[in-house]
Structure 1
Amino acid sequence: MPIILITGAASGLGAAFLQAYAKDQTNTIIAIDRNEVEISNPRVQFHAVDIRSQESINTLASQLEDQPIDLAIHSAGVRGLVEAIHEQKPDDVAAAETIAAMDLETLMRAFHINAAGTFMLLRALLPNLRMSRDVKVVVMSSRMGSIGNNEHPKRAAGSAYAYRASKAAMNDIVRSFAADVPEVTFGLCHPGRVETNLVRSKEEGAISAEESINDMLPLIAKWSRKDSGKFYDRFGETIEW
């Protein structure tokens, strides 16, 4: 019976992954989110975890002691918007992440959650991951974390300082895990521009979380050790670093 851990399970991509994997009655799911969630499915264990807190992560690790994990989907993260500006202009996401708008607090929060939080969580889960064979860790990244893409002539580039930089740092952290822990497959995936609670309004061209994961699920199923440390979009195309 596969055991699947999903972070950010209360909303957005995490909730969509939870719903999809819960349909298979052979799966046992460990759902993680900062916010409390009531789940009636007996095959789903919920743990309230704040990935900004080492203490909270340590508590999770102690609760999961001797529990193997076959697949980990890490989707928890933040966009890195200057909150005061985003509140004033909820329909103008770009205004809250420009070079003029960005501040230290927003930058540090994005790095803390997206980069440091990812490192602390994955490191804490290594004993559980190593208990399983053919184990995979799939981290939701973003094309905006690609440095090469940030000068792409056909796509909008620049701005989004906290999000781009924290996702780029997270990408490199996951690459290092792939190098240091070769017995585990670590994958990075850009899910597309998805309608989630990271912003207060629906961005132009955003797709539903369900549409995004329907594209990703077959890719995740077929990824293997040869894909470890690589960066793909939801269609399986390689994204430049």
Structure 2
Amino acid sequence: MPAILVSGAANGLGAAFVEAYRRQPNTTVLAIDREAITSNHDNVRSWAVDVTDEASIDAFVEDINQLAIDLVIQSAGIRGLVPHLEDQKRGDVDACETLEAMDFATMNRTYQINAAGTFLLLRAILPNLHKAQDPKVVIMSSRMGSLANNFPGNRSAGSAYAYRASKAALNAIIRSFVVDVPEVNFVVCHPGRVETKLVKWKEEGAISAEESVEGLLPLIARWGKEDSGEFYDRFGETIPW
């Protein structure tokens, strides 16, 4: 029975992945979030895990003991908007992450959750991944973490300092995992602009988490060793780093 770990499982992409995978036969879903989710399904187990707290991660790893984890969907993360501006500038994402608006606290918190937290979680569960026959880790990153995509003249470039920096750092961390842990397949993915609680309102052009996940499931199923270290969008197209 394959075991699939989903982080950020309480809402957005994480919740959609939990729902999709729990429907697959003979599958156990391990759902983690800062607050444990409630599920009525026998094949869903949940834990409250703070990815920025090593003690919280260690307690989770101790609880799952020697369980083999076949697939990890790492979707825990935040958008990196300056908190007080989210209320003042409601509906205007750009105004909440400009050069002038960005502050150290937002930069630091976004990095801790999106990048350092991912590192801590993945390092802690490596023994569980090594117990699986063909372990795979799929990271929900963002095209905004691509340095190659952030250039003058690109209408979607610039600004978003906390989010871009944290996702670029996340991408770099995963590439190091690819080098240091070749027994595990690591794939970085841009799931699209998805309507989640990362932003307190729906962004223009955002798709539902369910639509994103529906398209990603067959891609995740087929990604293998030859895809480890690659960066794809939700259609399976390569994104430059």
TM range, smaller chain: over 0.9
Given the superposition, is the C-alpha separation of residues 226 and 152 from structure 1 closer, same or farther in structure 2, using an over 3 Å criterion? Answer: farther
Is the partner of 2:138 in helix, strand or coil?
A: strand
Aligned pairs, number: 241
Q: Give the deviation of 1:26 after TM superposition.
A: 1.1
Larger displacement relative to structure 2 (135-144 or 55-64): 55-64
State the alpha-carbon separation in 2 of the partners of residues 10 and 156 from structure 1.
29
Q: What aligned pairs does 1:1-241 form with structure 2 within 5 A after superposition?
A: 1-151=1-151, 153-241=153-241
> Following the alignment from structure 1 to structure 2, what is the Cα–Cα distance between the partners of residues 168 and 54?
22
> Could you list the per-position Cα deviations for residues 30-80 of structure 1 after superposition, in whole angstroms to 9, with x for gaps in the alignment?
000102321111111101000010110111111111100000000000010
Q: Percent of aligned pairs with the same residue? A: 59
Matched residues in 2 for 1:6 and 1:172: separation?
21
CA distance in 2, matches of 1:109, 1:153: 29
Q: Which amino acid aligns with 1:88?
A: Q
Q: Which runs of 4+ in 1 moved over 4 A?
A: none
Unpaired stretches in structure 2, ≥5 consecutive residues: none
Which range moved further: 225-234 or 153-162?
153-162
Q: For the Cα contact (< 8 Å) 2:35–2:47, is it kept in 1? A: no
Q: Deviations over 1:139-185 (max 9, x none)?
A: 00000000010116344100000000000000010110011000100
Q: In structure 1, the residue corresponding to 2:150 is in which secondary structure?
A: helix
1:209-234 deviation per Cα after TM superposition (whole angstroms, max 9, x unaligned)? 01101111110000001110110001
TM-score (norm 2): 0.98
Contact kept? 2:31, 2:37, Cα under 8 Å: no
The code of the aligned residue for 2:118 comes to: T
Structure 1 Cα separation of the partners of residues 36 and 64 of structure 2: 18
The offset of 1:25, in angstroms, is 2.6
SS of alignment partner, residue 85 of structure 1: helix
**Gap regions ≥5 residues in structure 1:** none
Q: In 1, distance between residues paired with 2:98 and 2:124?
A: 34
Distance 1:144 1:54 in 2: 27
The separation in 2 between residues aligned to 1:186 and 1:13, in whole angstroms, is 18
Quote the RMSD (CA, aligned, Å): 0.9
**Residue identity in the other structure for 1:47:** W
TM-score by length of 1: 0.98
* Whole-angstrom CA distance in 1 between matches of 2:230 and 2:155: 22
For residues 71 and 156 of structure 2, what CA distance do their matches in structure 1 show?
A: 34
Greater shift after overlay, 120-129 or 88-97?
88-97
Of stretches 181-190 and 84-93 in structure 1, the one that deviates more from structure 2 is 84-93
